[in-house]
């Protein structure tokens, strides 16, 4: 599976992809839903995504899961249908451990040699097997076998619901039998924020387990955090360096809570698995992504070292509104023990849009000066190419 053809395609892919893109540019139907080709995360943060392609043998899969668990690292596994059928228990464990999964075809076929119907069949077979095994979908992540793709492939997988075709920033070439040292050096030499690292679970990647035990602590010491592809692509929140919870009160809205805690509304929705952003219940406990706990009462007692600016920022209100609410004439003079009234936060109401005939997410995003990705996350859309007339969308 990972022989000379694999090596040749890895080397020739950039040239082949460019040529095929030019050849197919004028022949692709305008309505085709092209999958987004990803080689690196769009971030300046020191985060890195470990990804593993799983073939039919999966010899090192279990070892890799143990190492990742020992180091408390989450990764992404691209699964083949044949591999999942061969070792279902290991795949199920990967999902139970919180790792991301994506579709890597049924039997590692070169998609550039297949017809659209054959590609769709490969994807569907794997999706069915994986979902029956784990209860989790492989969408929206796809990785092309051999990294071989073109516009026809991107269009077909996009229409199948795989909105991201994930390539890599660093190819460890571990499947060739590279030593742990060589694997580690290939990663370190090409390291950059948002890097996507390609590794494998098969027998040929014998140096990978040892390399992971060396690489993970070293990268952590360099200040890097390990993320899944869903986190890297902002489909789910990045791992928090600290967090809080908030109990919903009468009159609360999600947008108000997000504003109060200075967090992203879409991340708040995703972290709490909220299906309808307009429906939250009194007493519901929400996880706040990456936020420090903020007192939720309507008054605050001044402590040593406090300033009006600091308090206003903590409650996400303006200094002037805080001063007005407490009849403070000199904003530089507050005393320890003074009880301040926190004024209500005025929030912008959530904008909604009802889908009309002929609409697409792209057109709606342009109309409201936002992105397709923001709409997908805010509305929990599994397939951006399928929206129904009459659906009410949250505009974010």
Q: Supply the angle between the helices 88-96 and 61-70 in degrees, to the nearest 10.
A: 20
Domain 4-232 classification at class level: alpha beta
Domain 299-341 classification at class level: alpha beta
Per-residue pLDDT 10s for the chain (396 aa) are 455 555 555 555 555 555 555 454 444 433 446 899 999 998 888 999 999 999 888 999 999 999 999 988 999 999 999 999 999 999 999 999 999 999 999 999 999 999 999 999 999 999 999 999 999 999 999 999 999 999 999 999 999 999 999 999 999 999 999 999 999 999 999 999 999 999 999 999 999 999 999 999 899 888 899 999 999 988 876 665 445 677 788 778 887 787 777 677 777 787 777 888 888 888 787 777 764 444 434 677 788 878 887 787 777 677 777 888 888 888 888 888 888 888 764 434 457 778 888 888 888 888 888 888 878 877 778 788 888 887 778 787
Q: How many Å apart are CA 346 and CA 132, to the nearest integer? A: 47
The dihedral formed by the CA atoms of 395, 138, 63 and 106, expressed in degrees to the nearest 10: -150
Helix (H, G, I), strand (E, B) or coil at 365: helix
Q: Establish whether the linkage from the previous residue to 140 is cis, with ω within 30° of 0.
A: yes
How far is residue 218 CA from its own chain's centroid? 24
Burial readout 197-229 (b: 16 or more C-beta within 10 A, e: otherwise): bbbbbbebbbbbbbbbeebbeebeeeebebbbb
241-294 and 299-341 in the same fold: yes
Phi–psi pair at 341, nearest 5 degrees? -85, 130
Closest by Cα among 110, 114, 112, 41 to 76? 41
Q: Any idea which residue has 């600290």 for tokens?
A: 242
Is there a contact between 158 and 32 (Cβ–Cβ < 8 Å)?
A: yes
Which pLDDT score is estimated for 29? 39
How many other CB atoms are found less than 10 A from the CB of residue 118? 13
305: left (phi over 0), alpha (psi -120 to 50) or beta: left
Q: How many Å apart are CA 84 and CA 101, to the nearest integer? A: 11
Name the CATH topology of 350-396: Membrane-bound Lytic Murein Transglycosylase D; Chain A (3.10.350)
Q: CA dist 391 to 60, 288, 295, 356, 387, Å?
A: 45, 28, 37, 8, 7
Which residues are known to be catalytic? Answer: 53, 200
Query: According to CATH, what is the number of the domain 241-294?
Result: 3.10.350.10
Q: How many Å apart are CA 10 and CA 167, to the nearest integer? A: 11
Which pLDDT score is estimated for 211? 96
Domain ranges for the chain, please list them. 4-232, 241-294, 299-341, 350-396
């Amino acid at each position: 599976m990972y022989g000379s053809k694999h090596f040749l395609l890895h080397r020739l892919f950039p040239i082949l992809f460019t040529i095929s893109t030019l050849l197919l540019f004028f022949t692709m139907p305008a309505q085709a839903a092209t999958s987004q080709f990803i080689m690196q995360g769009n971030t300046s943060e020191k985060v890195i995504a470990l990804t593993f392609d799983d073939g039919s043998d999966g010899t090192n899969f279990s070892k890799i899961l143990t190492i990742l668990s020992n180091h408390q690292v989450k990764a992404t596994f691209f699964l083949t249908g044949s591999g999942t059928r061969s070792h279902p228990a290991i795949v199920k464990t990967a999902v139970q451990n919180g790792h991301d999964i994506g579709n890597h075809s049924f039997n590692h076929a070169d998609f550039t040699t297949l017809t659209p119907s054959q590609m769709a069949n490969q994807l569907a077979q794997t999706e069915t097997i994986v979902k029956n095994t784990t209860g989790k979908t492989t969408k929206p992540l796809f990785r092309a076998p051999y990294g071989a793709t073109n516009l026809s492939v991107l269009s077909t997988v996009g229409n199948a619901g795989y909105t991201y075709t994930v390539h890599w920033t660093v190819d460890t070439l571990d499947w060739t039998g590279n030593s742990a040292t060589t694997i580690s050096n290939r990663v370190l030499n090409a390291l950059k924020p948002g890097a996507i690292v390609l590794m494998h679970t098969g027998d040929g990647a014998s140096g990978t387990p040892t390399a992971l035990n060396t690489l993970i602590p070293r990268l952590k010491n360099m200040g890097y955090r390990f993320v899944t592809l869903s986190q890297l692509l902002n489909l789910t929140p990045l791992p928090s360096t600290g967090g809080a919870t908030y109990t919903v009160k009468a009159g609360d809205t999600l947008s108000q809570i997000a504003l109060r805690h200075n967090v992203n509304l879409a991340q708040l929705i995703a972290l709490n698995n909220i299906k309808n952003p307009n429906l939250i219940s009194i007493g519901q406990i929400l996880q706040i992504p990456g936020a420090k706990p903020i007192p939720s009462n309507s008054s605050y007692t001044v402590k040593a070292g406090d300033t009006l600016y600091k308090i206003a920022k903590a409650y996400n209100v303006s200094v002037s509104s805080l001063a007005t609410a407490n009849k403070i004439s000199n904003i530089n003079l507050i005393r320890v023990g003074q009880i301040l009234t926190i004024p209500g936060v005025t929030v912008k109401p959530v904008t909604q849009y009802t889908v009309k005939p002929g609409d697409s997410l792209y057109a709606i995003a342009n109309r409201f000066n936002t992105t397709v990705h923001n709409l997908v996350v805010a509305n929990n859309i599994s397939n951006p190419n399928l929206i129904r007339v009459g659906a009410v969308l949250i505009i974010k």
